Structure 1
Amino acid sequence: MSEAELPEPVERRLQRLWAEAAERGGPMPSEIALASSLEISRPAVREALVRLEERGFIHRRKGADTTVNSSLLGIPARFEQRLDSSALIAAMGRTPSVTVVSADVGEVSLDEADEYDVSPRRTVLRTTKVWSADGEPVLVARDVVPVLTDTDPTALDPAAPMSELARALVGEQVGWELVWPGADGLSPEDAGLTGRPEGEPAMTLEATGISRTGTVCYWTREVHLRGAFRYAMVRRADW
């Protein structure tokens, strides 16, 4: 079965039903109704609802309707959720494009080997990409993916999503991402790449992708230009 023929994940289907409920201002259908309409078991529905509640989409109380958090309808990008840069830009209602500034195959540095628990002299793929929204630069990403398989990194499209590059070069699926946010002024190089003034404030994200077995699949530094994205973070407030 091809990827296009795979059934759509339950959680994604539930999110569409959540959006419909949020737009009409009503509660979510019951577990029984959801199981029937989605043609899945009630335990599968319940598990997916738990994940939606953890992410702030809904609130459930025993013996009461499942209420929806309609305020999320106006949030295109959530800080605690990982979106590919193209999907992030598209979620803002703008057209994404990417320019691969560089794509080089070399060795991991000693500092990187120590920080990311990678063998010294390990081959890595390094890319620098500039993402644009409607032709306007909004993000600079410097990604590093270690080569742990026999795949030739030069045979891959460096513009592909980092998760795809990691699957090909590391041979594992990314399960978590450790993210360290920060702020900095644009470096001369980043200013030149984006056409923005040197020293202009920007948000930075230092992230490391980890597989479920604990393997480091990539590390990256992203520079998000000021005013380009409007992030939100949703958290439970059970006072």
Structure 2
Amino acid sequence: MAAPPSLAAPGGGAPSEALVRAFWAESAATGAPWPSEPDLAVALGVSRPALRESLTRLEAEGLIRRRRGDATYVNAPAARIVTRFDQQARFELALEDAGLVAEAEHLFAEQVVLDDATCQQLGVPTGAPGLAIGKRWRADGRVVMVALDRIPLVRSDGGRLPLPDPLQTPVRLFPLMQALRPDPIEWEIATPGASRPSRQEAEWFEDASLEAVLTLDLLGVSRRGDVYYRNRELHRPGAVPFGFVRSIRH
């Protein structure tokens, strides 16, 4: 039987959920059994309530399964999924986690008139002004993802938002949204699909022979239910393992 993962907090520092997740990753890699909740709480130096909160989140993500009166089971194959459809994360971090050298590049940023379909998705008046931003990511020098953002510069009531300097628009979407909107983004609604890349999209990928891309259409939703942006991601197939975990209820 494999030896259990180390339970010592590194450097004697304050334990956190990151430490619990690191322990899960080590357990998934080694195949070691998961300790009892009391033993894990003592070893990590956390309270039982705090540990239960972390374990509840891990179980909701399909990483572990707990049953009353039984052991805690670790979903080891889930560790192979580098990027999950059901979670939002910076793509360059996912690439780095896969052992790749990640690089983000800015393609363009310009003010546009949003098309009717986008206005309907975003809940803004027809013909509303918006900001169009294009970015791409490289992994070990090869372009593996292109992201196209559409951000309205009006609110749902028609009130105008300040136009940021397109040349100063950051590559990351969320700092820009924080500058434009007082309410934070709470959810992303994701719709996966696939398509044949256009000539322009193939040029962004620097690959005229690219026959298909994995697509992910994202809508950013505030806590009030307003849709603040539309993002379309185009992914090179096979570049990064994508997936999600479905828990089977018995």
Output the TM-score relative to the length of structure 1. 0.84
Of 25, 30, 37, the match for 1:31: 37
Amino acid at match of 1:162: L
- Name the Cα RMSD after superposition: 2.7
Identity of aligned residues (%): 33
Deviation track 1:45-91 (CA, whole Å, cap 9, x = no partner) reads 21221111121111111122212122223332223222222122222
Partners of 1:127 and 1:204 in 2: how far apart? 17
Output the TM-score relative to the length of structure 2. 0.81
Partners of 1:57 and 1:191 in 2: how far apart? 36
Of 52, 61, 64, the match for 2:67: 61
- Hey, what does 1:4 align to over in structure 2? none
Partners of 1:78 and 1:227 in 2: how far apart? 14
Alignment of 1:82-101 (within 5 A): 82-101=88-107
Aligned CA distance change for structure 1 residues 92 and 44 (closer, same or farther; 3 Å) = same
Amino acid at match of 2:242: Y
Deviation of 1:40 after TM superposition, in Å, equals 3.8
Residue 124 of structure 1 pairs with residue 135 of structure 2:
no
In 2, are the aligned partners of 1:187 and 1:199 still within 8 Å (CA)?
A: no
Runs of at least 5 residues in structure 2 that lack an aligned partner in the other structure: 1-12
Aligned CA distance change for structure 1 residues 185 and 199 (closer, same or farther; 3 Å) = farther
- Hey, what does 2:193 align to over in structure 1? 182
Aligned CA distance change for structure 1 residues 160 and 41 (closer, same or farther; 3 Å) = farther
Residue 173 of structure 1 pairs with residue 184 of structure 2:
yes
Deviation of 1:138 after TM superposition, in Å, equals 0.9
Partners of 2:167 and 2:19 in 1: how far apart? 32
Deviation of 1:94 after TM superposition, in Å, equals 0.8
Aligned CA distance change for structure 1 residues 26 and 161 (closer, same or farther; 3 Å) = same
Aligned CA distance change for structure 1 residues 22 and 194 (closer, same or farther; 3 Å) = closer
Q: State the secondary structure of the residue aligned to 2:136.
A: strand
Residue 137 of structure 1 pairs with residue 148 of structure 2:
no
Larger radius of gyration between Structure 1 and Structure 2: 2
Aligned CA distance change for structure 1 residues 187 and 87 (closer, same or farther; 3 Å) = same
- Aligned residue pair count: 233
Of 21, 31, 45, the match for 2:51: 45
Deviation of 1:157 after TM superposition, in Å, equals 4.5
- Hey, what does 2:18 align to over in structure 1? 12
Amino acid at match of 2:247: R
Deviation of 1:120 after TM superposition, in Å, equals 4.8
Partners of 1:188 and 1:145 in 2: how far apart? 24
Of 62, 66, 81, the match for 1:75: 81
- Hey, what does 1:3 align to over in structure 2? none
Q: State the secondary structure of the residue aligned to 2:165.
A: helix
- Hey, what does 2:242 align to over in structure 1? 231
Deviation track 1:124-175 (CA, whole Å, cap 9, x = no partner) reads 3211112111111111110122346966521784343222222222233222
Aligned CA distance change for structure 1 residues 99 and 20 (closer, same or farther; 3 Å) = closer
Amino acid at match of 1:208: L
